[in-house]
Amino acid sequence: MESFERRLAQAKLECERLRAAVSSVVIGQDEVVEQVMWGLIAGGHVLLEGNPGLGKTLLVRTLSACLDLRFSRIQFTPDLMPSDITGTNVLVLSGASQPERRFELHRGPIFGQVVLADEINRATPKTQSALLEAMQEHAVTIAGQRHVLEEPFFVLATENPIEMEGTYPLPEAQLDRFLLKISVRSPDEQQLQRILRQTTGRANAAPERVLGVESVLRLRELCREIAVADPVLAYAARLVNASSPEQASATPLVRKAVRYGAGVRGAQALVLAAKAVALLQGRGNVAFADLQRTALPVLRHRILRSFEGEADAISTDHIIQELVASLAIRPEDVERTIQEAG
Amino acid sequence: MTERLDRFEQLFRRYARRIRLLLFARGVLSGAAVGALVGAGVAAVLWRSGQGAVRPFALVAVLGGALIVAAVVAQRRRWSDTHVALFLDARLDTAEAVTSALAAPTEQAELARALQERACQTLASAQPRRLRIRWLLPLHLALPVGLALGSWISVLPLPARASAPTAPGRELVKHENLSGLDRIEALERAPGLSEADAQRLRQLSRQAQKLRADLVRGLERREAQARAAKLRDDIAAEQQRFGDKAERPGVDAAVSALGAQRFTQAAAKALGEGDLVAFDAEMQALANQAESRARDAARAALEEALQGARDRGSKKLAALLERQAKLFAEREGNAAALRELAEHLKDKLGAQARRDLDELGASGSLEAQQRLAKAVIEALKGLSEAERQKLAEALGRQLSNGQAGNPLTAEQLEELASKLSTDEGQRALAEQLRKLSQSSPDAERERALEEAERGGAEAQRGLGVLPVPSPGQSGVGQGNAASPGQQPGQGNAAGRGGGAAGHAGQTPALHGDELRARAATQLLPGAPLATRSLGRAEARPGETARQLGTGNLGNVGAGEVSAVEGADIPEAYREQVGRYFEP
């Protein structure tokens, strides 16, 4: 068995190759690509929120191509049915002489390995729940029969923040199932120039396969092995606790603008995402900085604002940033000694 | 516990030891700085309180104590391995490699080794300057400052200690010769009205002598003051007072009787003022006069005064007037004898003596009597045997010729002649003449008591007490201004008014009748108040509006009313103001 260091080094190399491959196609979204990789490595699902045309679908497709994973896309529409996602049994007649009737499972797009759930907020809650169930269970039940989905099973859902009319926003309890919620920003001018140069010229070559199924699974396993020291775990717990207004450690802003804070699942997601960050950096341990870096995408969809927070237009991002800035990382005397040392 | 790499263990322990040592030193220095300041403060307090010898020890003790406490506190606050690791990670920017290596999971040996190897590399390549701890704080400047201050205070000369105030009553006084006591001691020679009275005066004298002796040895001030005050009180009690209820009517009658006669009006005034010395002097002067009319009138007035006192039950006054009456007769004879002798010895007397003879006869002057007596004694001494015999014969002839116009009685003449005939008799006569101008025992007694009272006041002042005026004579004031602090008769100080009604039991009502002044004086209608008042009187051209008026207050009132007319008072208020000043 290879040593941990070798595996870690290997994993870092593979991830860098994957990142480079995806970034070569998806321009100007390096941070998004990075965070999507967190989700992939941590074994969670990712919710992408951004305006149309920012490359969300391209990102998923490219990622899928680089990973040599089976890609499927679900375009959510209001008339989409759950069976359109999961699949259904179809009556099939076979045999010329004596036709045989049997039911044959026609698998739905959920059986892909990298599933793009486009505009998930457009489908009805019933249809949404079919996907969310599969995300949670990594299995679907069709006509009473349970079908386990093939690993790695990675769902990337998108939300269009512009068109909210006629949509069904995901409830907070369902949002909690996504490890990360990534905000896809518009590219700056230089990035836009690169995009234009790349996409309006000759057709580019398809991205090459970088990692296979085994590699992804290995990455996920290695991610779980990343060490988290007690002080770091304590910090993660403090951070999540501080997001709840009823906790003593909550900041005044949290008490004012938050109705419900992140729960246990949020803390788990925080640590898993931080492990993924550490792995991507080739470290075998999680650092305080990893937690601070993953706090925003992990917690932004898990904090429910109060009426006052909404009325004052206090964003969850602002709340999380304030939390991270105000919460002490280390014990007070250690911090004081560090500051005195200059 | 995970099995750590030896190398990582070594490196970590080395850094941990250094960090802990520096933190410990910082804590101890902080405690020492605080201890030095506190020790300097304690030394300052001891310096202020005069505990000079303890100062350096106090500084050292406080400093030592602070060091121990600081060491204990620093030890309790000793950083754990995790704290040290967190500090190392932060200073070396290792992304918590050391912390993770320290707590690597035992079940993942590979991972643990990998973490520790990484941490080891980090620690091995660490620059020491990045791991320095600021162990010298601004607070530590207080250590040399406090030590310097404390050392300086320890050698500083002690401030002059203010003498602690002695507790009241603890102060000893010593007087070799307290002024004033001698006059109390002189009461031993003062004549008493009776044996018991003389005994009491001698007792007072002995008390003064004892006080003097105790003061020489040293006596507690309060006790000395109390004894001096008691002496004064006892002396005052011995002085004859006729102001009480029993004697007052007799005094009024006696003063009235004496005041009715022209010759005895001065004596009446003195008796009314309670001045027995002056009363005696007046009566003696009357007895000395050659004019029989004056003497007869005085004798009669005295008898009437005596009778009046007896009739009104004033026993003390009656006894005094009785003694005075007996003495009056004796003085009459003595003065007559002196005049007789002086007449017979006129050739032998000088001009002054002849003038004194005339004066003695005219006014009864005591000074003239003294001088004349002295001159007669000298003249008698200078007589030869033959001249003495001749004088005795002349007095004998006078006796045999009858006593018409002779103030001396037959017995007195005979006695005088017999004295002249023998040497012993002459000496007795000389002694008798010398005693002519002596006051009566009552007056002598009063004079001695007044002197003693003044001596007592002086003694009290010598002991640091402001003498309280002795109880004043009732009626028309003391007249004796020698006693310090004495005030003229205050008058009846009976209060008026009572307590406010409606206190509902909270404050008892005050009944004015119960309030009595210490000096229960009464104004005598016939005797004007010896005081002076400042008031306004009618202005005459060329005079000021203010005049110093003396006499009864009633007279002042009249002048005040008139002054209203001339004063700058609005017309509408003149009537009211005038009414205010109406007598």
Point out the residue among B96, B97, B111 whose CB comes nearest to the CB of A4.
B111
| A5 contacts B79? CB cut-off 8 A | no
DSSP for B300-319, written as a single string: HHHHHHHHHHHHTT-HHHHH
| A285 contacts B95? CB cut-off 8 A | yes
| A285 contacts B115? CB cut-off 8 A | yes
**Measured between CB atoms, does B72 come within 8 Å of chain A?**
no
Taking the C-alpha atoms of residue B225 and residue B551, their distance in angstroms, rounded to an integer, is 39
- Position B201: which residue type? L
**What is residue B488's predicted lDDT score, i.e. its pLDDT?**
43
Q: What is the distance in angstroms between the Cα of B134 and the nearest Cα belonging to chain A?
A: 6
DSSP for B352-387, written as a single string: HHHHHHHHHHHH--HHHHHHHHHHHHHHHHT--HHH
**What is residue A116's predicted lDDT score, i.e. its pLDDT?**
92
**What is residue B559's predicted lDDT score, i.e. its pLDDT?**
53
Point out the residue among B87, B90, B100 whose CB comes nearest to the CB of A229.
B100
**Measured between CB atoms, does A328 come within 8 Å of chain B?**
no
Residue whose entry in the numeric block shows the structure tokens 């009626």: B475
Taking the C-alpha atoms of residue B41 and residue B62, their distance in angstroms, rounded to an integer, is 10
For B374-399, the pLDDT digits (tens) are: 888 888 878 888 887 787 777 777 66
Q: What is the distance in angstroms between the Cα of A199 and the nearest Cα belonging to chain B?
A: 39
Q: In the numeric block, which tokens belong to residue B168?
A: 């009241």
**What is residue B489's predicted lDDT score, i.e. its pLDDT?**
43
| B100 contacts A337? CB cut-off 8 A | no
**What is residue B492's predicted lDDT score, i.e. its pLDDT?**
43
**Do A177 and A134 meet the contact criterion of CB atoms below 8 Å apart?**
no
| B114 contacts A8? CB cut-off 8 A | yes
**Measured between CB atoms, does A78 come within 8 Å of chain B?**
no
**What is residue B466's predicted lDDT score, i.e. its pLDDT?**
75
| A342 contacts B99? CB cut-off 8 A | no
Find the helix or strand (DSSP H, E) in which B210 lies: helix B195-217
For A153-209, the pLDDT digits (tens) are: 999 998 877 766 677 878 877 788 899 999 998 888 888 888 888 778 776 666 778
**Measured between CB atoms, does A136 come within 8 Å of chain B?**
no
DSSP for B482-538, written as a single string: TSTT--S---------BPPTT-TTSSPPPBGGG---SS-----TTS--S-EEEEE--
**What is residue A276's predicted lDDT score, i.e. its pLDDT?**
96
Q: What is the distance in angstroms between the Cα of B80 and the nearest Cα belonging to chain A?
A: 11
The secondary structure of residue B437, as a DSSP letter, is: T
Distance (Å) of CA B144 to CA B34, B35, B38: 11, 11, 13
**Measured between CB atoms, does A224 come within 8 Å of chain B?**
no
Q: What is the distance in angstroms between the Cα of B95 and the nearest Cα belonging to chain A?
A: 5
Single pTM value for the model: 0.55
**Measured between CB atoms, does B87 come within 8 Å of chain A?**
yes
Residues sharing a CB contact under 8 Å with residue A199, sequence separation 6 or more, in sequence order: none
Residues sharing a CB contact under 8 Å with residue B325, sequence separation 6 or more, in sequence order: B299, B302, B303, B306
Please count the other Cβ atoms lying within 10 Å of the Cβ belonging to residue B64: 13
**Measured between CB atoms, does A313 come within 8 Å of chain B?**
no
| B96 contacts A287? CB cut-off 8 A | yes
**Measured between CB atoms, does B103 come within 8 Å of chain A?**
yes
Q: In the numeric block, which tokens belong to residue B412?
A: 């007195």
Low-confidence ranges of chain B (pLDDT < 50): 1-2, 403-404, 473-503, 520, 528-529, 531-533, 545-546, 548-558
Residues sharing a CB contact under 8 Å with residue B48, sequence separation 6 or more, in sequence order: B159
Low-confidence ranges of chain A (pLDDT < 70): 1-2, 98, 163-165, 203-206
Q: What is the distance in angstroms between the Cα of B35 and the nearest Cα belonging to chain A?
A: 23
Taking the C-alpha atoms of residue B4 and residue A212, their distance in angstroms, rounded to an integer, is 36
Beta bridge partners of A146: A141
| B83 contacts A338? CB cut-off 8 A | no
Q: What is the distance in angstroms between the Cα of A136 and the nearest Cα belonging to chain B?
A: 29
